[in-house]
Structure 1
Amino acid sequence: MAKRKVRRRVRKLLGEDPIALVWCELHKPIPTPPKGVHRSAGGGRLKSRHHWLFYVGAVVFCFIVVPVILIDQLGKKIDQLLLRREPGWRASRPRRQRGSRSTRGHAEGSEPEPDPTNGVFDGDWDLTAGRLLLRWYGDSPSPRRLVMLTRDRVCVAASPRRRLSPTRADDFRTVAEFGLDHARLEGEADQPRGFATLRICFQDGSWLEVGRLAEPEDADHFLRTING
């Protein structure tokens, strides 16, 4: 449950107590927009900033793990070359089973095409959801957002920090606000914790889906409220 100082900050931003609130975030990466659209929107960041430990891990991987893998692969290649020089190697070598070209083509053709939107939004970058995504990390380096519902509006807030605690954050600010005639919230009640999602649908037909709803009590109350 959100702590008292979180609710104090919400009350200060809204000027009233919210009906429901929940921390959430994009549960999938933002799709790559067309270059022209991205450029006209200011060319902002489309990925969150990583923690410094991520970069330490990347350096360790490149300078320690990768050389070990390469040495191991080199050793296997050398063993194969030595094995080929042994008499009788070709006679004992098993033949590869080749599938027919038509079978392979049928299998490849049956694969579903990937979703270019990654299930994050409706796919139109010129509508409300797309524009909101284009400035998502410009508003905050963190993927987390606080969705607040009142009797007449839906507000979205973000913290200027990259890392925050959903129960204790008190420096977030409103980054988007919509009247209930311009935005509605959709989400099934009693969704499995850890897999619950929430969809923000806008008047122009666009929509944005978020997940990783933080704090089970807040998430359950929020989903029950929008379904009540």
Structure 2
Amino acid sequence: MAKRSVQRRRAKKILGEEPVALVWCEIPRTIPKPPKEVHRAAGKGRLSPGHHWLFYVGVVVFFFVFIPMFLLDQLSKKIDSDLGAGTSPERTSRRGPGTSAAMSNRRAPEIFDGDWDLTAGRLLLGWYGRSPNPKRLVLLTRDRICLAASPGRRLSPTKAADFRLTAEFSSHEAHIEAESGQPRGFATFRLRFADGSWLELGRLAGPKDADHFLNTAARRGSGHAL
């Protein structure tokens, strides 16, 4: 990650003032698929992040080198096991008859309120169109909430100091809902908009920045000016 001093100088430059708190974060889950007509009306922008070319090189190497090696190793162990102990009887499933249905009916947590016509939905529709990187820098000032990101496809977008604003909301348009003291690695917060819509963000990067951000947002409280 770029030095905090470099980040703060860049943040001050694009904001025109010193940020009260900032943190790198991202949408913790995949953006759900919107209705076709909604997606078309929004310009049919991308709904998933773009990756640096080195990412795809790593994927190719993984699938064509490591997976075959792993499968050959497992096959070798299986053959050795069968020769040494004979063929084992087929295992019966311990899963109860209703387990599959229960798992299929279990809904994953939502990342937004579900209304594509409100502010959070519109923000999601253009999320990766503004920057292909998954990481966003959320900056709090005395009366604004700003989102920034590096414009290019970077392997480590948080290390770049070329981030720029992708969205900006006044204290009348949005506020942060957050709890301090959340367990590291599982902390999340919500960006709540005046129309009642909300967007959840997580995977906070930088322990010091994350703790300060959550503490600052929690002290100001839900609905208070940011």
TM-score between the two structures when normalised by the length of structure 1: 0.77
Look up the match of 1:80.
none
Look up the match of 2:17.
16
Look up the match of 2:179.
188
CA distance in 1, matches of 2:218, 2:67: 51
Q: Tell me, yes or no, if structure 1 residue 111 matches structure 2 residue 96.
A: no
Q: Shift of the alpha carbon at 1:24?
A: 0.8
Aligned residues: 212
Q: 1:157 aligns with which of 124, 148, 151?
A: 148
Structure 1 runs (4+) deviating above 6 angstroms are 65-68, 93-99
Look up the match of 2:210.
219
User: SS of the residue aligned with 1:23?
Assistant: strand
Residues 95 and 131 (structure 1), Cα distance of their counterparts in 2 relative to 1, 3 Å cut: closer
CA RMSD of aligned residues (A): 3.4
CA deviation vs aligned residue, 1:27-61 (integer Å, no higher than 9, x gap): 21111112221111111111112233432344345
**Whose Rg is larger?**
1
CA distance in 2, matches of 1:220, 1:156: 18
User: SS of the residue aligned with 2:217?
Assistant: helix
TM-score between the two structures when normalised by the length of structure 2: 0.77
The percent identity for this pair of structures is: 57
Q: Tell me, yes or no, if structure 1 residue 130 matches structure 2 residue 121.
A: yes
User: SS of the residue aligned with 1:110?
Assistant: helix
CA distance in 2, matches of 1:62, 1:165: 25
Look up the match of 1:82.
none
Q: Tell me, yes or no, if structure 1 residue 209 matches structure 2 residue 200.
A: yes
Q: Tell me, yes or no, if structure 1 residue 52 matches structure 2 residue 53.
A: yes
Q: 2:191 aligns with which of 186, 189, 200?
A: 200
Unaligned runs of 5+ in 2: 79-87, 220-226
CA distance in 1, matches of 2:213, 2:96: 48
Per mean C-alpha deviation after superposition, the further-off stretch among 204-213 and 49-58 is: 49-58
Q: Shift of the alpha carbon at 1:155?
A: 0.9
